[in-house]
Every structure is written in C-alpha cells, then in structure tokens.
Structure 1
C-alpha cells in the first residue's frame, strides 16, 4: 500500500486535533474543569503525534546508503513507537495525576455549559477524523476484523490514528459524563472521576500501541496470507520444494524474502538462473511489497536441518 491513504488520515486527524485542543483549553480556562484540562492535554499530545507520524513518513523516504543498505523504511515504525510512548506519558499519566488531585480536592466548576458545548463540537470534529481513518483503512483491511487489522497491519500509521481517534471519542464521552454528573449532582468529584477514567483509557490504548509498534520495530515477517502466496509461487515450475524460507518487513511497503530452494537435479546453469528469475517474478506479482528477494538454489537432502 502507498503512504497516500495513511497520510490523508493523519492530516485529517492533525487538523481536527489542533482545532479541538485550542477549544478545549479555552473551555478549561473558562470552567476550571479537570476533565477539560485532561482532554486539552490529550488533544495536544494527539496533534504532536500526528506531526511525528508525518515526520516518520518523510524520513523513511531517504535513499539507502552504505550505512543503511536496506534504507530507512523502519523510521515509520520508530516514530509510531514514539507516538505510543507520548500518548502514555503526556496523555495517560497527566490525566491520572490530575484526576487523583481533583478527586482528593474537588473544585466547583464555573460556566459548565461552555464545557458541554465545546465537547459536543469536539465530538463532531473527532468523528470526522475517525471516519477518515476508517475509510482509508478499509482499502487494505480486507476480510479481517478491525482488531485483526490493528494486530496484523504492517502500515503503522493507520492503526495508530484509528486507536487514537477511538480513544479521543471515548475520552470526550467520559469528559461529558464527568461534567454532566457534576452539574446534575452539584458534586465536582465526578469531574475528577471523569478525568481518572480518561487517564485509564489512554493508558490501555497506549500499552496496546507500544506492544504492536515494538513488534514492528524489531521486525515482523509476512502476514499468513502473504506467506501462503509466496510459498505457492516459489514451489512451482522447476523448483521442486522450499527447503526453508524467511521473511521480514524492512518498512511498511518493503518485504525482504530469503529462501533456499531445491531445483530439479542436473539443470544447466542457465536454467538455474532462469528458474530463479522466474520464481522472483512470480513472487513479486503475487506480493508487490516483496521488493528484495534472495533465493539460494540447492539440492534437497532429507538429512538437512533447517536453521
């Protein structure tokens, strides 16, 4: 997949979160709501995160060199991992701290209606961003579930934006509940509870992203569907069998394929070279992201142990 779809989702989220952050800060200054403050910091963190995702896309396009012969594709994984860390530290930890403080020392809200109006507007803007992320993700999701897409996707930005936007929408609902219950009951402790809930929500999302981005950063192989296609395309023609096969994503759009293949005995050197070229062409056609393919011809021996 090209980076175009993920870029559109990032830009939509960036614009929405920047506007929401300003509105929420104004709401906090007017009302003094800790839920509004937590949501303001959350939106600032999200805006910064989208900037980092765009930076990762930019730096990953640098050409390969002597020090980095496989290029810089994993920059997108690195910056996505940084985004997950920021969401945890700047979003979750701050909200938890502020929530504990407000529960221990509740403060009366002023002009809570202002907070409600701003939060409702924020829900509309965040919904647009979430819709854009869903639309762009559907193009590559296939038949897998949304959870499966987040777990299996080798394009890091879309899962990050999807989870961020989902968390933002749920966080806004929690903030509305906190402010609303405070107005209805007259007890500002509910505002602090709403803030705590936002912190827990962001923490759960951040941990999920940290686990997934770490896995991509240290190197994940082809998806089960891609692996099956590669095996089918390799083990045809003059290739008798695959002795062993290894794959690894060097970036979201660049898959490394390395395999030892058994060819028919007695093939002339020209036929061996042609068989390898044909196998590479078949694999690239079936899995376009398989850009780097290294095939080692060999004779199959039953005593050979695969590493």
Structure 2
C-alpha cells in the first residue's frame, strides 16, 4: 500500500561530520591564536592585543562547549527523554554564547576603559603585527571551512548564505561562523588601534580598539543567545518548510486532506510533526488506526522526523491549502 511522501530533508542532524569537523578546526585554530596573542600582549603591553587574547581564549572555551553540544545532541531518544536530546545542542550553544559575552566582551571593554583611565606605553609593535597577521590567516582557514559548509547546505535548501546562517537549526555552525567572522573583524580593529598608537604615541586609539572589540563580541553574543533562545522555546518553522511538508502529506494516496499541521525543531535537523488528517477510503475504525500508525512509522523513517503524531480530522474542520 502506498504511503505518504517523505518530507524533504531540512538540515543535517546534530553530530554530522561536517559540523564536527568545522568545530574541531575552529578549536585548534583558536587555541594556537590565543597562546600567541597572550604572549604578544605581555610583550607589547597593547590593550587591543590583550582584548584579542581574551577574545581568542573565549572562542577556545566556546568550541569546547560546542563539541559537547554536538555529542550530547546526537544521542538517541530513550524512556527518560522521549523527544530525544536534540535541544541539548541549543543549551550548550547558549553556554558558549554567554561565555563569549562574559569572557570576551566584558573583559575587552573593561580593559579598554582601564587603559583610557590609566594609559600605558606599548612597545615591540612588530611582534603585535606578526601575531595578528598569523592569527588572521588561521582564523581565515576556520572561517573558510564554516562558509563552505554553510554555502553547501544553503544551496541544497535554496537559501542565501546570510538567510541560512541566521535561521539554520544547527547552532554550532552558526556559532563558529559568527565567532570566526567577529575574530577577523576584531583583528582588523586591534591592528588599527595598535597602528594609531604607534603613529600618534597615544594609548587612546589602542584603548578604543579594545573597547570596539568588546562591543563587537557583545553584539555577536546577543545574536547567538537570541537565536538559541528561540529554538529552545519552540520557534515555528519557516513557511517554506511547512508548505513542503504539507505538500508531501497531500500527495499521498493515503491522505485526502490535512486540517492541522504543527512542526517544531527538537534539535538540529530534527522535527516534531503533529497533523490532523482525513484518510482516504471508508475503512472501519480499527483498520484506520492501523493505517494511521503505519503512516506515522513511515514519516519517522525520514532522517529529519524525530516523531510524528497523526490524528483523524473531523468533517467540519477546514482543510489546509498550499
């Protein structure tokens, strides 16, 4: 007997090799960069360099949270978690975003203000420039990996890169993308502050560079926190995805009409589907129940459907239209 068409693939589930590889590359790059920037900040005395060191250490710690998010989120559902562990990905990604805000933004802004109040002379500018240049290359490698994965997935879903990275259900990819982009911009800000410090002899531009790096990290952290919050509280899926799932149900010979459809992300690429449908034919109640359960199991065979719950529609309910 024919059953419903499988809903379209949404995104890769948590634990996908591409996401994990992206996080690992980012962790390795940030660890090397953090060590180099810390040494450079101690040698040069630059406020902007110290802000960048705090930024890189925050990113390094965040990648650990993201690695935990990938591992925890991929666990299969069990009796204690009937909806699976997918939302753990958003929880641990939220921790990473808070870490970026506190260890990165707050420290950078605080140190920049302290430098404005009690300015100190910087030295050995060449070391700072060399470390920033190497850091830019390493961050660029990590960012390129994140962009490549984002572009590939966005192309499969027919989205632009910007639209996908803001709305993807994969928080680890979004975090690495934004953190690496912020890191590249932060390096340019720090480099400008150090250069103006060297040219003017004043520590003010360097201090302002530190503050600007902190503000940049704060904005990125707020964006990441907000996106994870929305998925944790059950943000509705995009209209395009809802229409595609509805079309898949209506194209089935088993389904005459759909009167209710609810879709919610339980984790990266994991959907919870609830629908009220009018089954084809005029089977007796016990036969309808069997067909209904068979249709649920078929839907759950799709990689992106964590659980499907189907009920029978009543005759007076309005049909959903594409």
Fold-level match, TM-score > 0.5?
Answer: yes
Which residue among 196, 210, 220 is the counterpart of 1:195? 210
Q: Contact conserved, 1:42 with 1:91, CA < 8 A, in 2?
A: yes
Kindly tell me the number of residue pairs found equivalent between the two proteins. 302
| Higher alpha-carbon deviation: 140-149 or 76-85 | 140-149
Q: Contact conserved, 2:49 with 2:190, CA < 8 A, in 1?
A: yes
Are positions 1:128 and 2:138 aligned together? no
Are positions 1:297 and 2:312 aligned together? yes
Query: Which residue does 1:257 correspond to in 2?
Result: 273
Which residue among 22, 39, 42 is the counterpart of 2:35? 22
Are positions 1:222 and 2:245 aligned together? no
Alpha-carbon deviations, 1:27-68, whole Å to 9, x = none? 011001111111101101100100111111122233433322
Query: Which residue does 1:174 correspond to in 2?
Result: 189
Are positions 1:137 and 2:153 aligned together? no
Supply the distance in 2 between the matched residues of 1:62 and 1:232 (Cα, whole angstroms): 30
Which residue among 127, 143, 149 is the counterpart of 2:164? 149
Alpha-carbon deviations, 1:157-185, whole Å to 9, x = none? 11110000000000000000000011111
Which residue among 83, 97, 114 is the counterpart of 1:84? 97
Deviation at 1:265, TM superposition (A): 6.3
Q: Contact conserved, 2:300 with 2:307, CA < 8 A, in 1?
A: no
Q: Which 5+ residue runs of structure 1 have no aligned equivalent?
A: none
Supply the distance in 2 between the matched residues of 1:39 and 1:179 (Cα, whole angstroms): 12
TM-score, with normalisation over the residues of structure 1? 0.92
Q: Contact conserved, 2:27 with 2:63, CA < 8 A, in 1?
A: yes
Alpha-carbon deviations, 1:202-241, whole Å to 9, x = none? 1111111111011112223433332111101212324222
Supply the distance in 1 between the matched residues of 2:38 and 2:67 (Cα, whole angstroms): 25
Query: Which residue does 1:37 correspond to in 2?
Result: 50
Query: Which residue does 2:6 correspond to in 1?
Result: none
Deviation at 1:253, TM superposition (A): 3.0
TM-score, with normalisation over the residues of structure 2? 0.88
Supply the distance in 2 between the matched residues of 1:151 and 1:133 (Cα, whole angstroms): 13
Q: Which has the higher contact order (CA 8 A, sep 6+)?
A: 2
Q: Which 5+ residue runs of structure 2 have no aligned equivalent?
A: 1-11
Which residue among 253, 262, 273 is the counterpart of 2:290? 273
